[in-house]
Chains A and B, each alone.
Chain A
Amino acid sequence: MTDLTELTIKEAARLLRLRSFSVSELVTAHVERIERLDRSVKAFLRFTPELWEKQAEEADRRILRGDLGPLVGIPMAIKDVLCVRGVETTAGSQILRGFKPPYTGTAVSRLFEAGAVMLGVMNCDEFAMGSSTENSGYHPTHNPWDLERVPGGSSGGSAAAVSAGEAMIALGTDTGGSIRQPAALCGVVGMKPTYGRVSRYGLIAFASSLDQIGPFARSVEDAAIVLEAMAGRDPLDATSSDRPNDVLRDFDAGVKGMRLGVPREYYEVDGIEPGVKAAVDKAVKALRDAGAEIVDVALPHTDYGLAAYYIIAPAECSSNLARFDGVRYGMSTEDAQNITEAYTRTRRKGFGTEVRRRVMLGTYALSSGYYDAYYLKAQKVRTLIKRDFDTAFEKCDAIISATSPTVAFPIGAKTQDPLSMYLCDVLTLGGNLAGLPGISVPCGFSNDLPVGLQVLAPQWREDTALRVARAYEVASGVKAEVAPLA
């Protein structure tokens, strides 16, 4: 008997049409696995039985009617920053405890319309700020490959659920690496689209010029199917693009004749582990053997990316998080004598350490007298970083590197040293600053822990990133596997 919790979308869609099992049976198999495993993985914050029952019944009816949509009946998990009408959504923060959005965001709506079935709300770092999911205002999530280690973050619950076979697909958000890095650490596929490819309507904002919603899956094709279903212009997000939704163009065309750039700065980045380097070198060789031309490219401002990011992202977050004041939604404190005290007490009680740190940093960087030295300077360096990529892409079709310099680290290892945590994203945040699409695919193991290969492509060339990732998956035979949990 096929294990229903290890299928890809394509396999599940085929078997559902053959009536090998119903959507309700597929969903039940996932719910049973969650009941068995999530006590130790702790990927979920909340379950949504009222939704999965209704959506599974509807999906079964659609299949009986001959609906061939690939996502009909596919069990899905949603990061706790994406609003779903009537479902408690808290951005991993106590300050939003009890908040039930009055509407559903566009990306999730489109997947619901495509027939996906929502299983629950996934843990994440508070307001998506972090690289380990330890900054969750609720509890940490554990890496399914080693429960003593972090799943990465901020979308750690989404990555862990797909890795543990608790969900077939999941949604995350990526502001500096928050999809790609946990995908790498959990051994699944995760993709951040071009800024503007997917509407951010209904996403609780962290840093609005960097945030993008994207998929987690156990194959490149599944990630592409989910992305295609979410992508496209939305009148409710002015930054969403009306570019053609061509992300699956030339998907299976292979890499023969393509030029793939290897930036020295990314291969020699401080703290890169030898085991990660070895796995990525092997992946580069597999792509060369598959017919790609490997070319050296330069990203000379790499050393300044983290610094620019840690001004721009906190500055935007300090502004975005001003709305959490205990008046219109979320937590509030009793007995304040005046409005200022009410704001202060609510935010004192509701925000965790990392959020407070970033609000302080952002408020400081934007304050008069420091604006030019910090915020304006960072925006100029952002231009230099974007130009680095523009120049590199004149010499290559896509850039390949490690996604994360390290494999999953032990829970607690970096919580006392914020800068060491920030360095987890040193290879991913350039893609956000430049607005590029990027994907992480599993490329083997180091010390029995998954390693991710990152493919970055020029803006709007998700098709290229997906094509290279797919070609790697085919050429190497390395596939995302469900972690071997008991």
Chain B
Amino acid sequence: MLARLGLEPGDEEFYAEQLSGILAHIDRLQQLDTDSIPPTAQVVEVANTLREDVPRPGLSQAEALANAPAAVDGFFRVPSIQEEA
């Protein structure tokens, strides 16, 4: 549900079996004592790299919409996002 993958009947059993095997392997991490170990999110020593805040041309509206499955009046067209009141 969370990832909007659209599971269908039968999918759950198929993935459950495979994912159980993978998670069983992953569980070996619990053997390690990591209480005093800091986490690594980023392996190289760069931090807060910023570039000059200079305006530069971006995509035109036409370019931004060129790949859209549906566009209308300069907008991406999507189905209703709210239920009828």
The secondary-structure label for the interface of chain B is: loop
Q: Which residues of A have CB within 8 Å of B23?
A: 361
Judged by a CB distance under 8 angstroms, whether A478 is at the interface is no
Q: Which residues of A have CB within 8 Å of B3?
A: 318, 322, 347, 359-360, 363
Judged by a CB distance under 8 angstroms, whether A307 is at the interface is yes
A344 with B68: CB separation less than 8 A? no
**Minimum C-beta distance from B73 to chain A (A):** 16
Nearest to A96 among chain B residues (CB) is B67
Judged by a CB distance under 8 angstroms, whether B43 is at the interface is yes
Contact of B49 among A238, A332, A422 (CB under 8 A): A238
Q: Which residues of B have CB within 8 Å of A380?
A: 32, 34, 37-40
Judged by a CB distance under 8 angstroms, whether B10 is at the interface is no
For window 9-37 of B, CB contacts with A under 8 Å fall at 15, 18-19, 21-23, 25-30, 32, 34, 37
Judged by a CB distance under 8 angstroms, whether B74 is at the interface is no
B6 with A348: CB separation less than 8 A? yes
A308 with B49: CB separation less than 8 A? no
**Minimum C-beta distance from B39 to chain A (A):** 3
Judged by a CB distance under 8 angstroms, whether B66 is at the interface is yes
Please choose the segment from A1-9, A120-128, A165-173, A333-341 that sits at the chain B interface, where 4 or more of its residues have CB less than 8 A away: A333-341
For window 397-431 of A, CB contacts with B under 8 Å fall at 418-419, 422
B41 with A209: CB separation less than 8 A? yes
Judged by a CB distance under 8 angstroms, whether A374 is at the interface is yes
Q: Which residues of A have CB within 8 Å of B66?
A: 100, 102
Interface size class on chain A is 35 or more
Judged by a CB distance under 8 angstroms, whether A304 is at the interface is yes
**Minimum C-beta distance from B25 to chain A (A):** 6
Bound Cα distance from A351 to B15, whole angstroms: 14
B22 with A378: CB separation less than 8 A? no
Q: Please judge, given known A-B contacts A339-B78, A348-B6, A356-B5, whether A379 and B40 are in contact too, CB under 8 Å.
A: yes
Contact of A338 among B18, B49, B76, B79 (CB under 8 A): B79
Q: Which residues of A have CB within 8 Å of B4?
A: 325, 340, 343-344, 347
Bound Cα distance from A373 to B23, whole angstroms: 12
B59 with A102: CB separation less than 8 A? yes
A194 with B44: CB separation less than 8 A? yes
Judged by a CB distance under 8 angstroms, whether B81 is at the interface is yes
Bound Cα distance from A382 to B22, whole angstroms: 18
Q: Please judge, given known A-B contacts A239-B46, A328-B76, A379-B41, whether A348 and B5 are in contact too, CB under 8 Å.
A: yes
Contact of B70 among A322, A332, A343, A361 (CB under 8 A): A332
B22 with A381: CB separation less than 8 A? no
**Minimum C-beta distance from A165 to chain B (A):** 34
A307 with B29: CB separation less than 8 A? yes
Bound Cα distance from A329 to B63, whole angstroms: 11
Bound Cα distance from A189 to B66, whole angstroms: 38
User: By the criterion of a CB under 8 Å from any partner CB, how many residues of chain B are at the interface?
Assistant: 46
- A271-314 interface mask toward B, CB cutoff 8 Å, 1 = contact, 0 = none? 00000000000000000000000000000010110111011000
B19 with A239: CB separation less than 8 A? no
- B42-85 interface mask toward A, CB cutoff 8 Å, 1 = contact, 0 = none? 11101001110000000100011011111000001011110100
The secondary-structure label for the interface of chain A is: helix
A328 with B46: CB separation less than 8 A? no
B21 with A419: CB separation less than 8 A? yes
Q: Which residues of A have CB within 8 Å of B49?
A: 238-239
- A89-127 interface mask toward B, CB cutoff 8 Å, 1 = contact, 0 = none? 000000000111011000000000000000000000000
B64 with A419: CB separation less than 8 A? no
Q: Please judge, given known A-B contacts A363-B3, A419-B22, whether A357 and B15 are in contact too, CB under 8 Å.
A: yes
Q: Which residues of A have CB within 8 Å of B41?
A: 209, 379
A356 with B26: CB separation less than 8 A? no
B46 with A341: CB separation less than 8 A? no
A328 with B34: CB separation less than 8 A? no
Bound Cα distance from A459 to B13, whole angstroms: 43
Q: Which residues of B have CB within 8 Å of A356?
A: 5, 15
Q: Please judge, given known A-B contacts A238-B46, A304-B32, whether A383 and B40 are in contact too, CB under 8 Å.
A: yes
Q: Which among B8, B67, B76, B80 has the highest number of chain A CB atoms within 10 Å? A: B67
Judged by a CB distance under 8 angstroms, whether A395 is at the interface is no
B29 with A338: CB separation less than 8 A? no
**Minimum C-beta distance from B78 to chain A (A):** 5
Bound Cα distance from A382 to B44, whole angstroms: 13
Q: Please judge, given known A-B contacts A239-B46, A241-B46, whether A338 and B28 are in contact too, CB under 8 Å.
A: no
B81 with A339: CB separation less than 8 A? yes
| Interface residues of A, Cβ cutoff 8 Å to B | 98-100, 102-103, 194-196, 209, 235, 238-239, 241, 301, 303-304, 306-308, 310-311, 318, 322, 325-332, 336-345, 347-349, 351, 356-357, 359-361, 363-364, 367, 373-374, 376-384, 386, 418-419, 422, 433-435, 459
Q: Can you list 24 A-B pairs, Cβ within 8 angstroms, ordered by A?
A: A102-B63, A102-B66, A196-B44, A304-B32, A310-B25, A310-B26, A326-B69, A328-B67, A329-B68, A332-B70, A343-B4, A344-B4, A344-B5, A345-B6, A351-B5, A356-B15, A359-B5, A360-B5, A360-B15, A373-B30, A379-B40, A380-B40, A384-B34, A433-B43
Shortest 3 CB-CB contacts between residues of A and residues of B: A348-B6, A435-B43, A332-B69
